[in-house]
């Protein structure tokens, strides 16, 4: 039993990593209605910026604050420079632009910082809480805590602020939002900025575990997609719940279902995405979209 509980705890730890990036995906989807394939790479790039500050001797928390500010500004800049010219273009154009951004950012990070593995300091102490043969690492606890806090803030933002309202209007119908006096472009830029900021948080959280290098987020992205899909692409609570469920499912499947085996583990997010989309496309926490012809 302790073994099982331990597997679940480890799964939650892994799931928290997916949840962090899934939050960024949900955020950009809520603001702009697109799926950003480059979100993971932007998070990785932000983490490198944080690493650069720490490496230069800036204290960890100051480096983090600087990084978050830069990421926010960077996200807005990307929106203005790269996305604005194709605003209102078909979905496919945006998919291609974010894929181009994916390749570009990945290669740029390798160019600047090389592909060698870098260690990244963990903001949390080592060691673990122990009870009844089960150990819960402080770092796992810390990651879960931060993810929960970000989720709470986003929930409040979406639910109780004017920005949240405006944002919903923009994502659901940019034209009528514009007519009712909402600065659509400003909202889109804000969405990119905030998503980049949340992505930076998730990057900084995973880097001590996965170690920093340009392909760090490549493997995480697909699990984050699965998490966001499971939770419903527009719900921050859903993204976190989805991330945790995917993490636990993956860990338990690896431990107890031997036919899957570690080599086919990536089948877990695939199965999650397909099953959810076929049977409950709005996800566990999302809102069903009404289609108008």
> Which CB, 108 or 169, lies closer to another protein?
108
Cβ neighbours of residue 229 closer than 8 Å, sequence gap 6 or more: 242, 272, 273, 276, 277, 283
> Which CB, 71 or 229, lies closer to another protein?
229
**Part of the chain binding another protein (CB under 8 A), chosen from 42-50, 159-167, 181-189, 210-218:** 210-218
Residue 180 near residue 169, CB atoms below 8 Å: yes
Min. distance of Cβ 177 from another protein in angstroms? 18
DSSP 239-293: HHHHHHHHHHHHHHHHHH-TTTTGGGTTHHHHHHHHHHHHH-TTTTT--PPPP--
Min. distance of Cβ 40 from another protein in angstroms? 10
CB contact burial 167-191 (16+ within 10 A = b; e otherwise): bbbbbeebeebeeeebebbebbbbb
Among 90, 132, 162, 290, binds another protein (CB under 8 A): 90
> Which CB, 65 or 260, lies closer to another protein?
260
Strand partners, 128: 137
Among 211, 257, 287, 288, binds another protein (CB under 8 A): 211
> Residue 95, interface with another protein (CB under 8 A)?
yes
Among 1, 56, 92, 131, binds another protein (CB under 8 A): 92
Strand partners, 135: 130
Binding mask 114-153 for another protein (x = CB under 8 A): xxxxxx------x----------x----------------
Residue 11 near residue 251, CB atoms below 8 Å: yes
Tell me which residues in 215-244 interact with another protein (CB under 8 A): 215-216, 218-220, 222-223, 225-226, 229
């Amino acid at each position: 039993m302790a073994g099982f509980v331990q597997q679940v705890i480890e799964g939650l730890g892994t799931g928290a990593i997916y949840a962090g990036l899934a939050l960024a995906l949900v955020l950009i989807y809520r603001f702009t209605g697109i799926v950003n394939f480059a979100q993971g790479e932007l998070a990785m790039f932000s983490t490198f910026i944080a690493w650069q500050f720490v490496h230069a001797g800036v204290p960890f928390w100051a480096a983090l604050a600087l990084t978050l500010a830069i990421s926010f500004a960077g996200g807005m800049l990307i929106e203005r420079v790269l996305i604005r010219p194709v605003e209102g273009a078909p979905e496919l154009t945006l998919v291609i632009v974010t894929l181009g951004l994916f390749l570009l950012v990945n290669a740029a990070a390798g160019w600047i910082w090389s592909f060698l593995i870098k260690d990244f300091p963990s903001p949390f102490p080592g060691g673990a809480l122990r009870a009844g043969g089960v150990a819960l690492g402080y770092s796992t606890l810390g990651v879960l805590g931060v993810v929960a806090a970000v989720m709470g803030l986003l929930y409040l933002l979406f639910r109780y602020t004017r920005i949240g309202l405006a944002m919903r209007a923009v994502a659901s119908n940019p034209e009528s939002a514009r007519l009712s006096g909402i600065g659509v472009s400003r909202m889109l830029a804000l969405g990119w900025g905030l998503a980049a900021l949340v992505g930076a948080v998730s990057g900084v959280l995973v880097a001590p575990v996965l170690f920093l290098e340009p392909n760090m987020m490549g493997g995480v992205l697909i699990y984050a997609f699965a998490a966001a899909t499971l939770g419903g692409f527009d719900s921050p609570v859903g993204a976190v719940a989805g991330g945790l469920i995917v993490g636990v499912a993956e860990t338990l499947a690896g431990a107890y279902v031997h036919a899957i085996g570690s080599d086919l583990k990536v089948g877990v997010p695939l199965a999650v995405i397909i099953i959810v989309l076929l049977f409950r496309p709005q996800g566990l926490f999302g809102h069903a979209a009404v289609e108008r012809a």
